[in-house]
Amino acid sequence: MLQEIGYSTKTNNKSIYSDFREIIKTELINKGYASCNTDIFVVKPNDLFYLQLSYERNVFFTEDSFVQITISEYEKICSLSSKINKSILLGIYLYIKQFIMNYPGDIAPAKISFPSKSQIAKGLDTSISTVENGLSVLESYKLIYIRRDMFVENKKEEGVFVPTRNVYALDPMELEGDSVLIELERIYGKRIYNKDDVPGEIRYLTKMKGE
């Protein structure tokens, strides 16, 4: 755990262990997030001890209206090999996941999310280029899946079709079929086409400086 947060365990500086014990005691045990049947302050650095997370005060699951993340998801993102700050990657992942709803019943809409890159960037107070790089990392590690190459008719030019926003999912099966197109049509108010079905000219949007 010390190594995970950036401390070296190859040191004789015992204050590191004391500080770490103090954090576990005051921030986790005393605040009710976990319990331990061992006295934290007498555990030797090479000894194992166990923390039992509290069900009532579990930081990973909540009945409140917040996006949920599992321990497995959290650990996967934190262990990624990337130059991008892990908090940014986690923020992008959670921003996308918060719009993916679990609807009851056998016949339910696709579990997808389609915030624009500018929305994600604004929500995380970062740049669009950082969001694009983060999406690339998350996609490469198969933490998210992205469907692209869908087009809608340009509002200003009849017969000219431009790309829609990306559509995201946590399961690649959710991106298959026409259900994704139907969901996007609700947003755009127009028919959405796959690239091979576009009945006109495809024109890609030009990025403006600073975007």
Structure tokens at 171: 């399961």
What pTM value is reported for the model?
Answer: 0.66
Residue 50 identity (one-letter amino acid):
Y
Return the SS3 of 17.
helix
**What is the mean predicted confidence (pLDDT) over 104-122?**
81
Instruction: Tell the CATH topology of 60-202.
Output: Arc Repressor Mutant, subunit A (1.10.10)
CA-CA distance, 6 to 86, in Å (whole number)?
Answer: 13
Based on C-alpha coordinates, what's the Rg of the chain?
A: 23
5: pLDDT strictly greater than 70: no
Question: Residue 116 — φ and ψ, nearest 5°?
Answer: -75, 160
Domain ranges of the chain: 1-59, 60-202
pLDDT (tens digit per residue) in 183-193? 889 888 899 99
CB 76 within 8 A of CB 141: yes
Mark out the alpha helices in 100-170 (DSSP H runs).
117-124, 128-140
Instruction: Give the tens place of pLDDT for each residue, 145-156.
Output: 999 999 999 988
